[in-house]
Amino acid sequence: MAQVKRENRQKEEIEYQKIRAAAEGGDATAQKSLGAMYYYGEGVEEDYKQAVEWFRKAAEQGNASAQYNLGAMYYFYYGKGVEKDNKQAAEWFRKAAAQGEAAAQYSLGLMYEKGEGMEKDYKQAVEWYRKAAEGYLKAADEGKVEAQLVLGGLYFGGKGVEQDYKQAAQWYRKAAEQGNAKAQELLGGMYQAGMGVELDYKQAVEWYRKAAEKSAQMQESLGCLYYFGLIVEQDYIQAAEWFRKAAEQGEAGAQYSLGLMYYKGEGMEKDVKQAAEWYSKAAEQGKAKAQVNLGMMYESGQGVIEDYIEAYKWYLLVEKGGEEVQKLKDELRKKMTEGQIAEGERRAKEFVEKREKKKGVEERH
């Protein structure tokens, strides 16, 4: 395995050197490709600023794909090499759209619909969605999975085309059959709702399961279906399995749900220590319910050593906790010294500062 990885890395590095040489020689296609290599870290260390620089060089030479990519950096992926700038995004999308770039046409439609970087104009939005639909239809007919997915969405929302759930389902199916997880999830949803297809919960679950092979979010959703017995027979063991798969990939909601199941002993042996561990992982990511439950465990000493300061810290960190959390804080303060309260406030402040710093680093990269 290590040998294969080394060989793949060497191939990527050789490809990078080849494309770099062509890009420096002024080849616009190579410049666009080099930008993508910097963006994804293929054959070279990931560098969003370099990605933007090479996309810009290609875009200024009229490369439509690079023009779209540059617009997308300003509009969708801001914080990665550039700050958000709707006007710059619209300018580059418009240049690419004029050359028939369907993704740029769709993005312009979106911006007109939302009134971002320009006056809100539904007529213009529909016109650009229509042009995008034509472009996506051609690409979708050629079997391009992303085009099939987007075209399905256009038919579903009636954007640039007459709303048609059957057409939406057909295009979602084409993309789903090629293994696209999002399309599999959306097709499952259409079977669950009976939109564009006959209502069929069995088919819905089948497509959800296929999507869950690649999507942690879908794993969490399947866990919820089994936990609450929605469109499937209630099954705590299945729910726990799906929550665990998603939780181990960092899904905060699944981490909270798995902690709750450990706490209640649903589908597994009751284990308050495991509950506290999973609540902690979710709480660190800002899951409010997990923060409340973890605070209560620290206050009562369940699964963790009793610690009023930590309990108070987690209560303080709950955003929009309402009267329930306010009551928990008020009652806990009655059992704490002024020094403990001050320390809890300090820890909460420190947690927020670290989270914001980490967020800033992630956005820059």
| Block residue for tokens 């209502």 | 199
Helix, strand, or coil (residue 165): helix
Q: Is 30 exposed, middle or buried (0-12, 13-18, 19+ CB in 10 A)?
A: buried
Q: 45 burial class (0-12, 13-18, 19+ CB within 10 angstroms)?
A: exposed
pLDDT score at 364: 46
Ramachandran category for residue 158: left, alpha or beta (phi over 0 → left; psi -120 to 50 → alpha): left
Question: Could you report the per-residue pLDDT of 107-149, keeping only the tens digit for each?
Answer: 998 899 899 988 989 888 888 888 888 888 888 888 888 888 9
Per-residue pLDDT reduced to its tens digit, 262-289: 999 999 999 999 999 999 999 999 999 9
Task: Quick: pLDDT tens for 193-225.
Answer: 999 999 999 999 999 999 999 999 999 999 999
Domain residue extents for the chain? 10-102, 121-214
Cα separation, 296 vs 278, whole angstroms: 14
| pLDDT greater than 50 at residue 365 | no
CB 337 within 8 A of CB 312: no
pLDDT for the residue numbered 354: 87
Superfamily of domain covering 121-214 = Tetratricopeptide repeat domain (1.25.40.10)
DSSP state of 267: S
- Give the whole-angstrom CA distance, residue 50 versus residue 190: 41
Report how far Cα 92 is from the mean position of its chain's Cα atoms.
24
pLDDT at 10: 73
- Choose among 65, 68, 69, 76: nearest CA to 52: 69
The fold of the 10-102 domain, in CATH, is 1.25.40
- Cα separation, 113 vs 120, whole angstroms: 6
Q: Does residue 245 have a pLDDT over 90?
A: yes
CB atoms within 10 A of CB 187: 31
Residue 142 Ramachandran class (φ > 0 left, ψ -120 to 50 alpha, else beta): alpha
Closest by alpha carbon to 164, among 192, 125, 190, 199? 190
Q: Which tokens sit at 100?
A: 């028939």
Count of CB atoms situated within 10 Å of the CB of 342: 12
- pTM equals 0.77
Query: Do the domains 121-214 and 10-102 match in fold?
Result: yes
Which positions ≥6 away from 48 have C-beta within 8 Å?
Answer: 38, 39, 73, 80, 81, 364, 365
Q: Judge whether 251 and 217 are in contact, CB under 8 Å.
A: yes
